[in-house]
Amino acid sequence: MEKLFFQKTQGGFFQNETLPTINYLSHVCDKPHWFYNLHKHDNCCEVLYIADGKGRHTVDGKLYEVQKGDIVIVNMNTIHAETSTPDAPISQWTFSFSNLLINGMEMNKLIPDGVCPIIESGSYAEQIDRIIENIKQEQKTAQAYHGIIVQFEACKFLTLLQRLISITSFPQRQVRGKNLISGIKQFLDTFYMNNITLTSLSEMFYVSSYHIVHEMKREMGVTPINYLIDCRIGEAQRLLWSTDMSITEISNAVGYQNVNHFVNLFGKRVGITPADFRGLHMVKSKQQEESEVTLKN
C-alpha cells in the first residue's frame, strides 16, 4: 500500500483564497491572415497560449514575435493586437479571467507593468494542452458539476502560470527615446478621438514631424498616424460589439465626423464593414451567453 502525505497549507497566491472567474476559452487556427486590431479589456485580463504556428503580437505599444509554446499575458486595460504569420498560421487559445486578484497585484493583473509579457511554457506545454482538452470535454459532455470542474481546470492553468512566473527572469523592456515615444503613445491612447495631425504632435512635443515618425517607427514599428487609426478602429470594434450605439455615433465617438470615410477605413483595416462586424459578434455573444449558462449549470 502506498500513502502520500500533503502539507496542510502552502500559502495560496489568490488573495483571500477567492477563485477567479473564467469568462471564456476561445481558439483561432487555420487562418493565415487572421488578426485582431488594437483593443483593450476594461474588466478582465487575458492569457494567450500559442499552441502552434507563429504570430506578431503588440502588447502595450511593443511588438513581439510569438511562436509555439509561448504564453502571452495581457493585463486588464492593456492595449494589444494579435496577428497570425501567413506562412505559419497561428493556433492560439485565449483564456479570459475576471475577478482575478493575486497577492501583491492589482485586480486582473498577473505581472507587473513594464516587464516582458511573453513566457515560454517549456516542459509545461503538455499539461496546458491536457487542461484545454479537459475543459473542452467538460463543456461538451455537460455532466453534473462540470462548471466547477472547468473553473478548477482554469485555476490549475493559472497555478502553472504562476509557477512559471516565479521562475522567470523578467528583464525590464528596453525603451529607447522613452520620454518622447511613451508620451506620444499615451497622448494618442487617451485623446485618439480628437483632431490629431503630425503638425499638432510636432507642436505639442517640440520636435519635428520627421523625428516623431522616425522614432515611433523605430520603437513601435508603426507611424503615429497608423497607430492613431489602430486606436480608433480598435475602440470602434469594442463599441460595435459591446454597445447599441449607431454606426454614425461610433464614427463620431472615435474621431471621424465623416461616417462614409469611417466605414471605408474600417473595411480596409478589418476586412468587413462595421455592420457585418457587429452582426458577427452578436452571434458570438449569443453563443457565449449560452455557454456561460451551461457553465453555471
Instruction: Over range 275-292, report the average pLDDT.
Output: 68
Q: What average pLDDT does range 53-75 have in this prediction?
A: 88
Give pLDDT, residue 48. Answer: 97
Q: Is there a domain that residue 173 lies in?
A: no
**133 and 235 within one domain:** no
144 and 220 in one domain?
Answer: no
Q: How confident is the model at residue 273 (pLDDT cuts 50, 70, 90)?
A: very high
Give a yes or no: residue 289 inside a domain: no
**Range with the poorest average pLDDT among 52-66, 209-223, 282-296:** 282-296
Q: Give a yes or no: residue 241 inside a domain.
A: yes
Assess whether 144 and 215 both reside in one domain.
no
Q: Is residue 238 part of a domain?
A: yes
User: Do 135 and 32 share a structural domain?
Assistant: yes
Over residues 147-169, the mean pLDDT reads 89
**Sequence-ordered list of residues with C-beta below 8 angstroms from that of 220, at least 6 positions apart, any chain:** 58, 61, 62, 63, 181, 185, 227
Both 144 and 196 in one domain: the answer is no
φ, ψ (nearest 5 deg) of residue 246: -70, 165
| Average pLDDT score over residue span 123-146 | 91
pLDDT digits (tens, 9 = 90+) for 185-218: 878 887 898 888 998 888 767 678 888 898 899 8
pLDDT band at 153 (very low <50, low <70, confident <90, very high): very high
Instruction: Domain count for the chain, please give it.
Output: 2
The reply to whether 186 and 270 lie within a common domain is yes
- At residue 12, the pLDDT reads 62
- Last residue of a domain, which of 104, 133, 167? 167
What's the CATH code of the domain at 184? Answer: 1.10.10.60
Mean per-residue pLDDT over the chain, rounded: 84
CB atoms within 10 A of CB 41: 19
Do 77 and 213 sit in the same domain of this protein?
A: no
pLDDT at 163: 92
Who's near 127: CB < 8 A, 6+ residues apart?
Answer: 160
Is residue 186 domain-shared with residue 162, that is, in the same domain?
A: no
Structural domain boundaries, residue 184:
178-281
Are both 53 and 116 inside the same structural domain?
yes
> What pLDDT is recorded for position 117?
92
Same domain, 56 and 148: yes
Residue ending a domain, among 167, 197, 215, is 167
Read off the pLDDT of each residue in 244-273 and give the average, rounded to a whole number. 94
The pLDDT, as a whole number, for residue 9 is 46
- Among 111, 136, 167, residue at a domain's last position: 167
Indicate if 272 and 189 belong to the same structural domain.
yes
Look up the CATH number of the domain holding residue 83.
2.60.120.10
Is 66 found in the same domain as 85?
Answer: yes
Q: What is the mean pLDDT of residues 97-107?
A: 90
Rg of the chain (C-alpha set): 21
Q: Provide the pLDDT confidence category of residue 175 given band limits of 50, 70 and 90.
A: very low
172 occurs within a structural domain:
no
Evaluate whether residue 295 is within a structural domain.
no
**pTM of the entire structure?**
0.61
Percentage of the chain exceeding pLDDT 90: 44
Specify if 88 maps to a domain.
yes
The 10s digit of each residue's pLDDT in 7-34 is: 554 546 676 677 888 898 899 999 887 8
